Structure 1
Amino acid sequence: MNDTATSIARAAAQFQRGDAAGAADLLGPVLAAEPDNVRALVLMTHTQLALKKPDLAHEVAHRAVVAAPESAEALGALSRALSGLDRHGEAVAVAQAAARLEPENAYRHNRVAWALLGEGRRTVEAEHAARRAVELDPHEADFRITYAMVMKQLDYTDRARQALRDALALEPDNAVAQHELATLDVVHRNPFALGRLARGASGLAGALRADPGQQASKFMLDVALQRFLVYTAIVLALLAYIGWRVLDFSEQGARLLAAAAALVPIGVAGYFVSRLDRGLRTYLITVLAYGRQRVAAVLAAVSIALLLTATVAPRSWMGWLLGLAAGGGFAARLLTVSASNAHVRAAGIPVPRGLSGPTLWIIIVGCSVIGTLCLIGAGDWMLLGIGLGLYVCAGLALATIVRRKRKVSSTS
């Protein structure tokens, strides 16, 4: 009996160190000698899930429940195995049965929350279960992370961010919390917050240092740097295009816009890069030197050179210079590999849906101003209709902001 307990303890230590295969090797002889040892069966379930073998994990967990039908630990393991097989409804029912057996055990409520998240339809119930786990054990970082995942699912990013900060206060080196907090900064809906994007990139680099094998952090770090390149190319192209159109009305205005189109992207890039540590700056250079990114960087540099030339060139040259710079900027944007929100969601990473708050306010102000100008100068029904339509757009954007605020306050 002592030998069995020692073997299980060694397997548990091996599993905690991340060696699931080694733990499974140690548990094999134990289960051969004692096929109904519930503790060994439960631990073997977790090792098989870590080894991406959900079918085998389910078989082992089922044996544990048959051997001890009133064991909440065995039911929790079975629930995890069912989630691994995408049998989410059964996983929820089994997890809830375990929580009824041990209502004061925080781990049981935490499993209920994850099972409900997997089902994807009962996020309010998941929030209750995750909050209950935190209440029962406020010093466990994993429960804070679970609560943050539920808040992300409900699109309450501020609460998710705070829960992750609380988890890091408990475990500063927790790679999962570092990754999730940085991901929130990378996939936020405000494209103008480059400081937040840089902070997210730095956080992902920290998560990789804590756990070099975490591929999700590597993927999101590439997303962060690619989005920065996309934003920079868009700013350059738009300002160059506006300058090209303004040339018909004002040569001086076109020269000023050419200068802005060259200097603003440089300023944006300088601000972003200044927020990165030395290692990330080196990695950004590596990204720029790879494949299509390299071609995009050369196009952006050529476009900036054309814009600077346009600030002093004869007027007859300016149309060509600004037009070519705008085309170069748009080409750089197309060539820059951008991880879209759909691409990120396909990788299993939740992304907020809908327009950001700053974008909605820009819509409100822009539509209101242009709509007012249309109504003031309305000489026919077309201008009147356009003005009223713009007011409707502004109203819908404002209603969206109000609805979001009410949604947040209703769950406070």
Structure 2
Amino acid sequence: MSESIAAVVLRAAELIARGLPRKAIELLQPALVVNPLHGEAWCRLAAAYLDAGEPDPALNAAKRALVLDGDPVWAQRLTALALSELGRHPEAVVAARECARRKPGDWRCQVVLAEVLANSPEGPREAVEVAREAAHLAPAEARAFQVLGDAALRVRDWGTAERAYRTALRLDPDADDVRANLATVRSKRGGAPIPPPSGEALHAAHVLVWPALSRLAALLVAGGLVLLLAGMPKPTPLLGAFSGLLVVACLVVVGLLLLKARRGVRRALLRLPAHRPKVAIVATMFWLSAVILAGWSVALLVGATTMQPLVVAWLCALIGGAVVVLGGGR
């Protein structure tokens, strides 16, 4: 049975990491009915309740874990966080200090103490110093620097907050909440814009976008040529419908690209043209071609008979396609 509960705990941890605390709770509750003495499972349940915004049952689960075999420091951290969420700040500070006393070299204890102090009425200043110690103990952990930035933000220490958030973003470029807080700090200071995406994110975006540009080149160049041949000597409204379908196909390619990209890479995609000139040229040409095609499609459907917009759209597509072919994705 111990293997079974261990597998449940592991699965619950995966669900919490994926942002599904409610499913983790539903998985753990029946397992704990059968195995009520499994301390780690109670800790996972407490963590899931905290992520779900339910501090009352989180506190109960953490207290159960405190009296069982397992990691008492983990249970102490969860207890402190639950008490803080419930507004019981003095008790939360006591629990967090006890956690830090038991394991002074554990950066997670220092992070929890900093969070609890930052939420208490008289602790924000001390929270900054405790968070500094957490960042010193764990220089490769984005969470430690995020908490330092949050604590500094509360006391309006803009310089410390900005440095901490920038370090956190360097360690975890996908942290949207950190990026938003950094923007807040910079707006308060009247500083420069948010740092650009990392080189790794830009490279990943470039690797992802070039095949999509190749597909767009094939659609617009080949499709435009077919439309040119079919539209001579005089285009018809039916041709406008086919031209509209070509524009829709291009939009589908772009949509699939955005769906495929992770959050950090998706942001890098939007800023990639500023860092990759060839991507900027190709994107501009294809955008012009698609816009002109869309306008020409509408014009044909309402009775126009001109071919000139199609020629311009095809030339734009041809220029972008040539850059794609010659660039080779490098």
How far apart in 2 are the matches of 1:109 and 1:25? 31
8 Å CA contact 2:62, 2:75 repeated in 1: yes
**Structure with more relative contact order (C-alpha pairs < 8 Å, separation 6 or more):** 2
Read off the aligned partner of 2:10 and give its amino acid letter: A
CA contact (8 A) 1:92 1:116 kept: yes
**1:69 CA displacement:** 9.5
CA distance in 1, matches of 2:38, 2:135: 31
Alignment partner of 1:67: what SS?
A: coil
Deviation sequence 1:377-403 (CA, Å, 0-9, x none):
xxxxxxxxxxxxxxxxxxxxxxxxxxx
Aligned to 1:96: 97
Please tell me whether the aligned partners of residues 68 and 74 of structure 1 are also in contact (alpha carbons under 8 angstroms).
no
* Deviation (angstroms), 1:123: 2.4
CA distance in 2, matches of 1:128, 1:134: 10
Aligned pairs for 1:119-134 within 5 A: 119-134=120-135
Aligned to 1:390: none
TM normalised by structure 2 equals 0.56
Classify the secondary structure of the residue corresponding to 2:139. Answer: coil
2:48 is the alignment partner of 1:47: yes
* Corresponding residue number in structure 2 for 1:155: 156
Matched with 1:13 is: 14
Query: For residue 31 of structure 1, what is the aligned residue in structure 2?
Result: 32
Written as runs of structure 1 = structure 2, the 5 A alignment for 1:363-374 is none
> Residue 70 of structure 1: CA displacement?
7.5
Aligned residues: 200
Q: In 1, Cα distance between the equivalents of 2:100 and 2:69? A: 16
- Rounded to whole Å, the distance in 2 between the matches of 1:167 and 1:189 is 19
* Structure 2 contact 162–186 (Cα < 8 Å) conserved: no
Aligned alpha-carbon RMSD (Å): 2.4
Would the aligned equivalents of 2:39 and 2:70 in 1 still touch at CA under 8 Å?
no
Q: Give the drift of 1:64.
A: 1.3
2:40–2:71 contact (8 Å) kept in structure 1: no
Q: Unmatched 5+ residue regions in structure 1?
A: 204-208, 212-277, 279-412
- In the alignment, structure 2 segments of 5+ residues that lack a partner are 198-261, 265-283, 285-330
User: Residue type matched to 1:64 in 2?
Assistant: A
Detail structure 1 runs of 4+ shifted over 3 Å in the superposition.
Answer: none
SS in 1 for 2:67: helix
Contact 1:174/1:210 (8 A) holds in 2? no
Per the alignment, do residues 161 and 189 of structure 1 end up closer, same or farther by CA in structure 2, a change over 3 Å counting? closer
Question: Do the aligned partners of residues 41 and 70 (structure 1) sit closer, same or farther apart at CA in structure 2, a change above 3 Å counting?
Answer: closer
**Letter paired with 2:90:** G
Contact 2:66 2:75 in 1 (8 A): yes
CA distance in 2 between counterparts of 1:66 and 1:72 reads: 12
TM-score (norm 1): 0.46
Superposition map of 1:281-320 within 5 A: none
CA distance in 1, matches of 2:179, 2:15: 24
What is the DSSP-based 3-state SS (H/G/I as helix, E as strand, rest coil) of the residue aligned with 2:45?
helix
Q: Does 1:60 align with 2:61?
A: yes
Separation (CA, whole Å) in 2 of partners of 1:156 and 1:102? 28
For 2:175 and 2:11, locate their aligned partners in 1 and report how far apart those are by CA, in whole Å.
23
Query: 1:75 matched to which residue of 2?
Result: 76
- The 3-state SS of whatever aligns with 2:174 is coil
Q: What is the Cα deviation at residue 151 of structure 1?
A: 1.2
> What residue is the counterpart of 2:142 in the other structure?
141
Report if the CA contact (8 A) 1:48-1:57 is conserved.
Answer: yes
Paired residues for 1:12-411 under 5 Å: 12-68=13-69, 71-186=72-187, 188=188, 190=190, 196=192, 199=193, 210=263
Is the 8 Å Cα contact of residues 133 and 143 (structure 1) preserved in structure 2? yes
Superposed CA deviations along residues 63-111 of structure 1, whole A, max 9, x for unmatched, are 1123259811111111111011011111110011011111111000110
Q: Deviations over 1:114-142 (max 9, x none)?
A: 00001031223212211111111110001
The share of aligned pairs that are identical, in percent, is 30
* Distance across 1 between alignment mates of 2:106 and 2:50: 22
Greater mean deviation of Cα atoms: 55-64 or 134-143: 55-64
Contact 1:144/1:164 (CA < 8 Å) preserved in 2? yes
Q: Distance in 1 between matches of 2:22 and 2:123?
A: 34
> What's the CA shift for 1:58?
1.2
**Cα distance in 2 for residues equivalent to 1:46 and 1:130:** 21
Tell me the amino acid that sits aligned with residue 60 of structure 2. E
What CA distance in whole angstroms lies between the structure 2 residues aligned with 1:140 and 1:100?
A: 21
Q: Distance in 2 between matches of 1:69 and 1:17?
A: 24
Aligned partners of 2:133, 2:77: CA distance in 1, in Å? 16
- Structure 1 residues 189 and 99: alpha-carbon distance in aligned structure 2, compared to 1, 3 A threshold: closer
1:28: Cα distance to partner? 1.3
The code of the aligned residue for 2:168 comes to A
CA distance in 2, matches of 1:128, 1:36: 37
Tell me if the contact between 1:109 and 1:129 (Cα under 8 Å) persists in the aligned partners: yes
